[in-house]
């Protein structure tokens, strides 16, 4: 069973764009490329040079004389386009399209995504051979996407749907998050030294100033290394002040 979509480049005009598309594909684990009637013939050395490490995608690429030949064994086909061309078809965002692609591929179907030539995109004769369209939300005043950029966007959404993507990774750099008691000790250290320095003035505002200061410390997500650094800063400032007396 093919476990990811076929990427079908229809009448691509520049070998460099084919190579860049191969790089974009391999970035997101897509390795099955089909090329329909490439303008400059095949194989193409410009494509190989641009692929830069993704040559195996080009080595395995299948060449077809027409769109029907490239899509013949597929059960569901998406076509990327900036406009619907007055055709009655469902238009998906890249995210929803790849969510549907996952479902169909997991059910044993072959899925393809078509991308049009650089100059004007897919023609109506191409689009009618697709089951649905993919439209990328872009600036309406400049909707043209580079071929490889469009492949990259679809590949990214494929990876997001197929793999678990961790939204945020906290790199601790060898430290751990500070415990509540460690932050509390830091609060007291600053309160005591600021009290000595006469910071909490006037007296009737002292309690609210201390409360605000403690609230500030508790809002800060600090590591143990951060806490130690803040202790060290204050100690050094106190030593420096005492040397000047």
pLDDT-wise least confident of 69-73, 83-87, 141-145, 200-204: 83-87
Q: Residues with Cβ < 8 Å from 218, sequence gap 6 or more?
A: 183
* Residue pair 151/115 in contact by the 8 Å Cβ criterion: yes
Mean pLDDT over each residue of the chain, to the nearest integer: 92
Question: End of a domain among 162, 196, 227?
Answer: 162
Residues 204 and 93 in one domain: no
> Taking the model in full, what pTM does it have?
0.76
Mark whether 158 and 186 lie in a shared domain: no
Q: Does residue 39 lie within any of the structural domains?
A: yes
Residues whose CB falls within 8 Å of the CB of residue 12, separated by 6 or more in sequence, listed in order: 18, 21, 35, 38, 39, 117, 118, 147
Q: What is the CATH number of the domain that holds 129?
A: 3.40.1280.10
% of residues, the chain, pLDDT over 90 = 77
CA gap 193, 205 in Å, rounded = 17
Residue 1 has a pLDDT of 53
Specify if 87 maps to a domain.
yes
pLDDT of residue 82: 78
CB–CB of 58/18 below 8 Å? Answer: yes
Number of domains in the chain: 2
Is 194 found in the same domain as 138?
no
Domain around 226: 180-243
For residues 67-84, give the mean pLDDT.
91
Q: What is the pLDDT of residues 99-157, one digit of tens each?
A: 999 999 999 999 999 999 988 889 999 999 999 999 988 888 887 789 999 999 999 99
pLDDT of residue 166: 81
- pLDDT at residue 129, rounded to an integer: 95
Domain-located, residue 174: no
pLDDT digits (tens, 9 = 90+) for 196-221: 999 999 999 999 999 999 999 999 99
How confident is the model over 20-49, as a mean pLDDT? 95
- Asked if the model's pLDDT at residue 160 lies above 80, the reply is yes
Is the predicted pLDDT of residue 7 greater than 80, yes or no?
A: yes
Residue 79 sits in the same domain as residue 188:
no
In a domain, 1, yes or no: no
89 pLDDT tier (thresholds 50, 70, 90):
very high
- What pLDDT was estimated at residue 245? 61
Sheet of strand 6-10: strand arrangement: 62-64, 33-36, 6-10, 111-115, 76-80, 132-134, 91-92
pLDDT category at 86 given cuts 50, 70, 90 is confident
Same structural domain for residues 106 and 132? yes
Q: pLDDT band at residue 244, thresholds of 50, 70 and 90? A: low
DSSP of the chain: ---SPEEEEES---HHHHHHHHHHHHHTT---EEEES-TT-SS-HHHHHHHTT-HHHHHT-EEESSHHHHHTT-SEEEEE-SS-TT----EE-HHHHHHHHHHHHHTT--EEEEE--TTT---HHHHTT-SEEE-----TTS----HHHHHHHHHHHHHHHHS---S-----TT--BPPHHHHHHHHHHHHHHHHHTT-S-SGGGHHHHHHHHHHHHHHS--BHHHHHHHHHHHHHHHHHHHHT-
The stretch 3-28 carries a mean pLDDT of 96
> What pLDDT is recorded for position 2?
65
């Amino acid at each position: 069973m093919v476990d990811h979509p076929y990427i079908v480049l229809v009448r691509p005009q520049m070998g460099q764009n084919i190579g860049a598309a191969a790089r974009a594909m391999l970035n997101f684990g897509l390795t099955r490329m089909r090329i329909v009637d490439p303008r400059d013939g095949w194989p193409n050395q410009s494509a190989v040079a641009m692929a830069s490490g993704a040559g195996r995608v080009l080595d395995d690429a299948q060449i077809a004389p027409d769109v029907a030949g490239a899509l013949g064994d597929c059960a569901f086909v998406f076509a990327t386009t900036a406009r619907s061309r007055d055709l009655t078809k469902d238009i998906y965002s890249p995210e929803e399209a790849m969510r549907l692609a996952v479902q169909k591929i997991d059910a044993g179907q072959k899925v393809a995504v078509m991308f049009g030539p650089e100059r004007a995109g897919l023609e109506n004769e191409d689009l009618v051979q697709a089951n649905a369209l993919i439209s990328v939300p872009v600036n309406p005043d400049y909707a043209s996407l580079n071929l490889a950029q469009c492949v990259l966007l679809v590949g990214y959404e494929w990876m997001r749907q197929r793999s678990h993507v961790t939204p945020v990774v906290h790199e601790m750099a060898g430290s751990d998050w500070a415990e509540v008691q460690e932050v509390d000790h830091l609060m007291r250290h600053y309160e005591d030294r600021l009290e000595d320095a006469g910071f909490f003035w006037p007296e009737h505002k002292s309690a609210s100033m201390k409360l605000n200061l403690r609230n500030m410390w508790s809002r800060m997500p600090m590591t143990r290394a951060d806490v130690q650094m803040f202790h060290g800063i204050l100690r050094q400032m106190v030593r420096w002040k005492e040397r000047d007396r």
